[in-house]
Structure 1
Amino acid sequence: MKKLTKISGFLLVFATALFFNTYAQAIGNSREINIAGVIIDSKTKQPITGAEILDENSRVIASTDDKGYFFAKLNKPAKGEIDFSFSVKKKGYRSFSQKEHWADQKDPGAIYYFGIRNKWRINDDSFSKMLPVKNDLVSYDTIIDRFKKNGDL
């Protein structure tokens, strides 16, 4: 019985060590990218509440608030170029997809300004604007200020 207890204890310690080692490697091999933005109606320029932002696997990663603001975190490999895509969906509007390919960088982040088209309006176009920022500069106020300075608002 003592031998079985020792083996069980050893296996528990080994499994715990293996888990923490794997977890530490996973954390060390990834980087977090913050993306945030404002989504508006492309014609009226009014914020769109409740639009969903989906990752490349069609998982909802964020949704917009009453100002049209969203914030999402993406985990990507720690080294190398950064590829990702996401889409914006809202009932009554045409879906909008965005693909990104960035160079390898240390503290990547981006802010977006999207205008999506009401699906019943034929002559309107959707649009997107992106500005690279450091990961911590993704608040609603920062987005509005940066796009105003850029001449987009």
Structure 2
Amino acid sequence: MTRNINIAGLVVDSKTLLPIEAAGIYWTDETLLGKTDVRGYFKISLSFMADGEMRFKLKIIKKGYNNIMQSEHWGNLPGDTKALMYFGLDKGSGSNSFSKLVNKVIGDLDYHITLEHFDQVKIARTFDNKLSAAKAGNQDVLVKVDDKPYIVNETGWIAISSDKDSILINKKQLVIADKINGIVKRKSIKWMTPLDAKNTKLAIYTK
């Protein structure tokens, strides 16, 4: 029994989020599956002839941009399935490439559905870019994006309600958020977690 994965999506500039035309989408074996149109839109189909888990790689290539290689490991799905995938290519301008999978899709994989789901990707990506800008050139733990405070480490972030929130460091030192940049460097944070305590909303661990 042949199973098909039908994928549609967009390829955009990771910094401007504008569409990239004529980007090539290649399968694991370098087979060209399709190219984007002037809207950055593509639609491809992958066929699997044997039962078992479905593994594949997609390589996105566009001259002038860094390539993306996306590895996917899907389960042993019984029949045809569909998904949306979004790729952001970078030119080495400091805005990192990205990929986003949306595997719960209702309706046809047409351009309008693809664009509708991309709105959420754009919101998240715009925030990521602003957060990266706030972290650039410093080791701050408390940063602000659109005047809202966030506690960040090298890989993640947690929103707090105010820069006057209390933060517990290593289970022993309680610090007001707006003082933490003078006490802890971002690179020293091992992990962090929200707390449900009345006056303390976050815990940070550096060891």
Query: Which bin holds the TM-score, normalised by the shorter protein?
Result: 0.7 to 0.9
Q: What one-letter code is carried by the residue in structure 1 that aligns with 2:39?
A: K
Asked if structure 2 preserves the Cα contact closer than 8 Å seen for 1:107 and 1:134, the reply is no
Alignment match, 2:81: 108
Asked if structure 2 preserves the Cα contact closer than 8 Å seen for 1:34 and 1:135, the reply is no
Q: What one-letter code is carried by the residue in structure 1 that aligns with 2:114?
A: I
1:140 to 108, 111, 114: 111
Unaligned runs of 5+ in 1: 1-28
**RCO (CA 8 Å, sep 6+): is it higher in 1 or 2?**
1
Alignment match, 1:65: 37
1:90 to 62, 67, 81: 62
* Identity level (%): 36
Q: Once the 2 structures are TM-superposed, how far is the Cα of residue 147 of structure 1 from its aligned partner?
A: 3.2
Q: Which has the higher helix share?
A: 1
Aligned pair count reads: 121
Alignment match, 1:125: 96
Q: Once the 2 structures are TM-superposed, how far is the Cα of residue 137 of structure 1 from its aligned partner?
A: 3.0
Coordinate RMSD, CA, aligned: 1.8
TM-score of the pair, normalised by structure 2: 0.55
Q: Once the 2 structures are TM-superposed, how far is the Cα of residue 127 of structure 1 from its aligned partner?
A: 0.4
Determine helix, strand or coil for the equivalent of 1:143: helix
| Structure 1 residue 56 corresponds to structure 2 residue 56 | no
Q: Once the 2 structures are TM-superposed, how far is the Cα of residue 78 of structure 1 from its aligned partner?
A: 5.1
Unaligned runs of 5+ in 2: 123-207
In structure 2, C-alpha distance between the alignment counterparts of 1:136 and 1:101, rounded to whole Å: 24
Where in structure 1 do 4 or more consecutive aligned residues deviate above 6 Å? none
Q: Once the 2 structures are TM-superposed, how far is the Cα of residue 107 of structure 1 from its aligned partner?
A: 2.8
